[in-house]
Amino acid sequence: MARPLIADIDLDALRHNYRLARDLAPHSRAVAVLKADGYGHGAVACARALADIAPAFAVACIEEAVTLREAGIARPIVLLEGIFEPAELDQVEALGLWMTVHSDWQLEALLARRPARPIPVWVKVDSGMHRLGFPLERAEAVWQRLAAAPAHACDLHLMSHFATADLVDTGYFRRQMARLAALGERLGAPLCLANSPATLAWPEAHGAWNRPGVMLYGSDPLELANAASRRLEPVMTLRSELIAVRELPAGEPVGYGGRWLTPRPSRIGVVAAGYGDGYDRHAVDGTPVLVAGQRTAIAGKVSMDMLTVDLTAIPEADIGSEVVLWGRAANGRVLSVDEVARHCDTISYTLLTGVLPRVPRRYHGGHSGTAPR
């Protein structure tokens, strides 16, 4: 009998979330972001599930694009960080990729090359994130150089990234947006600005293209949920089972270091899941889980291959009972990965991308078939 820990991937939920991103911005196109192996969900399977409704995909690097092309994904693919060395332009051209240009050396490498066909380019501008991108005061000159080189670059777009679109305090977002709107108007440039939170909450940021990422996988990136983000559906359910049940008297320590003491005579369940699978070791006592579709909590430190939960209030739970670490239980009840992340003092991105390869992915719905990891 196989170890029961599975990451169930609901491709119909993925398609629902993509359609939501698209419908929130009916005058924009939505590039589906598949970096980090589709945020841990399997980039190839997700691309296949979205291929008939998403006009383009986005990844972080050449290696991720190669994986998609080798799997037969023919849609345009945007390199969000561009190239990492000039030699990668060979693959950009051979694979028909779209390229972000965010720094001088990338610009010079592109203009020094004579491609067989011009390469679609998205010019990244630093409007306040202060990570990648040309300074605002230099962006116009960069744009003009590329516009004057139609044999090298085509289909130019202006791109930037918001630092605070997820927050309730909108002051910094609005300053970034004002700078970008003014630059875009001066250049007559089509824009690609909106990440997941801006797609969900800021229609003024919707451009020629939007870049929904974590929202596609059912995670709400907003500091306070809104009507749109409440419509997101979980794509990954991290599901296991109870493999042992212990009856302990009051005052007994559970797990490494005895961090949790039984406050009363207690039933403790042992779950086949741990930090060796990617479940966060920083989960505190009280981190929610669903056992047999009912809410309970972690009791004691997470181990490499196991974790322990309090079953005292769920007398029917026993060996073989379903345990949902996040996602949707068999009875339909949902435990948000965002809520689990808060108990781990982290964000959903780290939990989703951190599920390790030893956890099998099982795909349902969409065009999944037997889609590979």
Residues designated as active site: 35, 256
Give the CB-side neighbour count of residue 234, counting CA atoms within 13 A: 22
**How many CB atoms within 10 Å of residue 167?**
16
The phi and psi torsions of 38 (rounded to 5 degrees) equal 60, 45
Number of Cα atoms under 13 Å in the Cβ half of residue 115 = 25
From residue 175, how far is each of 160, 169, 232 by CA, in Å? 13, 12, 28
Q: Are 200 and 221 in contact (CB under 8 A)?
A: yes
d(C-alpha 269, C-alpha 105), whole Å: 56
What is the rounded CA–CA span in Å between residue 4 and residue 286?
23
In Å, what is the CA distance from 312 to each residue of 179, 265, 301, 317, 325? Answer: 56, 8, 18, 9, 18
Q: How far apart are CA 74 and CA 225, in angstroms?
A: 35
| Contact yes or no for 279/289 (Cβ under 8 A) | no
